[in-house]
Structure 1
């Protein structure tokens, strides 16, 4: 008996020594202990009394080690594996580095392992499988790599797997289905891919499933919708597809969190949601969900509702009925329904929403009417976004109650009246966006009180008066100050220099005058400075060279004089400089931005000289040279000048009589003078005398030749006007006036023009463009044009990108230009493809230019091409953006079907729109262009069915084309909606390419933009 007692004592002593040494090694591995958590770890007291240590009383063996949240820095000693009685190891929320030691596999009693929020690297040790009693595995928030070890599948007692926020790869492991005790899985924020295996449905006790922010794809297992124990289901930011079952919330009665945002779910919101009384968080954002939103009045615990970026609503008066019932949800804190199709007016009951509401986002819809005064009752709001709708009227005075408001976005509406002075009472604002409305009057000086403001955009309104100096006393302004496209006058206050942290300053397109203040050089954080389109005079201040981070500088279309300061070439990061159309003179610097012709714009300054050769400026006169032959040459120069003047005068008289004899009158348009010109002789020489061998195309008003000019390194395209054709003169004027003021990556850039006399003393007009090598879209769509230069056709990826390129161009012309530009002749032959198959829209010969201030238009009689011009033009209607959208829709349908709108099969009232509508959406494969898809790659097995997600992309594209070609103009989509939907389609299509490895079959450029 005594022998046994002595043996127990001996073992206990040995155990004490082992645990003491292990803890001592643990402390040695800690390099920093800022909170002195280990201060008590010394020999003066027994280790079982050390801070964070719990021992088993009988044998004085360590059972728990808990040092969570003390900011310990160091590595985890492998000697911890010697604490063989340890059941709980918690060192979460510290700064441990290195790999997780494999010695943890020795802890056979371990039940809870918590390493959350450290910096552990390497892989999860596979020998954790020996910890057969493990219930909780928590290594989230580290830098762990590799796959989830298959050995974990043997831990039958495991209840929680938490590996979120690492760099894990591979698929979602099917062996997890063997862990019948699991109640929680969190693998969010990793790089897992593939489908969720059906084996997961074996987890009948699962409560929390978090798989968001991975690359998971495919159909989400429908069997999971029948596991009634689920309380949290989070699938956000993956590539899951499929529709949601209508009875989802009946079969998951305990669900309090449902997050499926940023996936590819489609169909309607499950009607069973009306009974989801346990739901607290609902996130359906960024999917393809449609239809009306049911009543949510029974969801009284709901605090988060996010439906943004879907297709909910139908632009009808009943779309927002569900908001009336949300007033019963008294715990609501966040509501976002942005970027959908909600129409109608905003109900007054919006002001009766939860008093706890902090964020309300209604932007990007079709909501009209006035902003309800009652919305001011939501006094806890810190974010209100109602931008890009059709609101009208004034800003309600009740907005003055928003004392906590930080983010207020009202842009893109039809709001009018004055910017109310009470805006200065919103002292917590950091973003105020009133862009693109019809506000008028002065900018209220009270805005100075918004001393937390970082972003202020008042552009594209009708504001007048001077810029109040108070605006420059908002020292917090750092992101943006945009006052452009208004009617502001006076000078730019010298107080502008007080904005030392401003990143983007734009006062362009106003009526500002006076000098550019030298104090602008004090805005040392400036990266983008836009002063163009004003009447600034004086010289360019040298202080601009102090802006060492300046990347974009636009001073064009002012009245600046003097020389370009040499010091500006020292701004090393300057990527774009535009000083066009001023009165600058003198030598152009050669270094910095001036050394790259693609980064600098100088045209319209006739007295500039020098610079690098590629700028093609005249040489500067040599100053101070007094040659002995100077006086001799002076007399010769005078004689030559007189003779030259007489020749010019004779030439002008000859032209006058020739024009008078032929009764040919050109349209006077002084704005053409702003384009640089080239001589007839240069064009004649560069095109081999306009040889037929150089002819690359012809159109309504002339022919296009490929050529080379001495002033250009690359080939050019020369469009020669046929002036015998009625309307050709005006076409030349219109195209010049449009192209000289617009700039977009998807527009064919005009290089120069020629308005001269040919060798037969006949009037000659031509436009010179960059030569686009791959020809027109027309040549690629229709096989009869294919030749050795175009051996391939366009696959779906290319066509999708071209559609997006063209839509982007229309968005620019319709929404972003100073003057609205209506193209009027959009068709495949006017879309050119460059070396990278990027589309460029051309031919603005019959475009319409609409002045934002006067409403004046510039156009010619012809209104487009048969088949592409909308039906209302044939009935005498004025050209409009709706007409361009019709042409765009026809172009889309032609690209998808391979059929021209004038195809001979369309007779007896049939047209391309109806041809598509008959097969939409179920029989699209019967009308697709046979060159569009590789059937082996995109069809499902031996059945002639498209891969579901490819079909969804095509359905969405055909849908846009059909809506744009509706007969009623106002029912067509606009460029804002089209570009938004196309970008969603591209994202979905790119997912298909990656998931199905279809790069070769359906195009690899789909995701480039």
Structure 2
């Protein structure tokens, strides 16, 4: 600029320049705020439209969504600080009914949309595809129908897409490859059809793919191998067929592959376990795979699970001695082996697999004799399945060294020689663990070792169809005719009368030798008769009282067994319409038995599931001698053959009309009027009921019992909402001789989230383990949160979630279902103000005190160290004091004054 011209500018020009310089930024500021105001109004209207689409709000969570307060303060909403635009909409697990409003597509700043665990129906709106900033879309566990919207593939920032457990149909969109940042894709448990699109291979960031339990068809595309970051692939339980893509075996990032229950065929590459160096779990059960097991499996040093059940594999079992982390090896129902004396050589090297818990080799063609080194298998071995092979020779005496074995099945082989007396070592070293022993359909000879009757935990013994002879013992398992099978070609005698075996010759001879003393005996009896006459009445009364006591003894042995035909008719042929639940080892049906009044619950064991026989035995053993108002009552049982000639086992229980606690806590119960939930008083009573049941099992039983699987689905509620503890499929009798922290079984896992941490490290089941599960269950009852929710990871669990919130943030962690019952307005002025639900001072002091006390008991029971946990005696006392104080304050049904 020319200095002369600049200096010559008039004062008016300088004035204009000054005003422009100062007011231009102000003008920009006004424009930005005007834009923000428009955006805020858009978000506000979108949320109100979403509220209009909700037909049922059982917890009243949307009650404060109105124009009297800013939407950024509404329940479930998080806004950005700078623009006050909605970035998070989180309404999971509030039981909302309705449809997802398409107006949510106007929340242009939204990053997380979480509507999991509700009852949204209809289709997923296409308008969600406008959310270009969306990173997490969580719609799991609703009743959404229709196709997966193609427009969702426009959400280019999406990292997590959770659509599992809905009713979605149609195909996986081929445009899904537009989601280049997608890391987690959950599509399981829907009704998706068609093939897996080839475009899925372009999801280079994907680490987890769950598409199990659909109706997907065809072969997985070769392009699936392009996902270099994929660690978990689960496409089990579909209609997939053909050969697996060769690229799958080159995905070095994969740690878990689940392909169970499809129609895959072909053979596995010889070097697959070399090209998959990170593989930990490989499940290929129930397919049509053929060929040998790749020898490269010996290099899979990280392998934990290898499951090839029910395929067409052939050849030798490779040497697996290098797999030191292997826990489950199940090769049952194949054609492995060649009926040669070398088929079992691999067992010699498997002694190096120190963590092995389950070894399944049933129904193959394995020949040869069992090596003596079998007794050196893993000290953690729980189940050994060798039945249905061509194994010959004697049973090695060293098998008695497998002191933690609770199931041994060696039926349908060519074993000969005697039953080793070394089985008795299980008793001598006081590790009473063996429960199931099947040696039937072999060529065993000799007598039954007396040592078998000393294994107090043995609940099932099958020695049918052998060439055994001699006297059958009468103690231990042999005292229960329903637990022992001795039919067939055996030349056995004696035993209890229910076995209907002929008397032993030795006893008959003794009887003849005594005949010549008959006269002497008669004379003595006449003399003694007069002396005993005065005591006959006393003896008669005692015997009558004993018989009465015996007849009232609540043991399962005295219950009449029910036939398969009766159960079949009672459930209309086990109709799906009568199915009321599924569990770890079977399904539960409701039905009507002619021998019982009213409806009963029939638990049918899935005997194809590994451990189902043990579950049946454990449950019978646990329930046959126990009765308590807070335990599910067993009515009868069935151990028979179904119409297909297959083994059938079932238990019959009282029917609980109010279902399980799981449904009440996480879904509510639909009635003709409204959806019911449990209030605070009811939850407190249920907790006390469960504690009473544990007190009975741990303290009052003649032989204490550890339940081992406490969780909401195993707590049933009767007509009056009285809690009954059920499902004793994992229960274990605790030793009354040794310390009650020791039991007979190692490696019982229970259910993830509820099982104590020490079980995962090989510790024995114990009272303290049950108390940990009880503490977690208490925390779930109070917070409404499952211990397995996505938020609990990387060391953060439900125990920590509760502990860090006490005492000042109590209302932030308790179940929202309780909040509407704990808050009410007391004055007319209060109706003009919003109650702060985040401030525990608004809780009635006695309600606050009750909740704090309950939370602290839950924490005290679920501490990591078993020795520091509260015992059931102290818990029961504390809970009854809390209930007494709670009811004394006049708080009814969980409602309180604010």
Q: TM-score, normalised by structure 2?
A: 0.49
With structure 1 as the length reference, what TM-score do the two structures score?
0.44
Larger Rg: 1
More RCO (CA 8 Å, sep 6+): 2
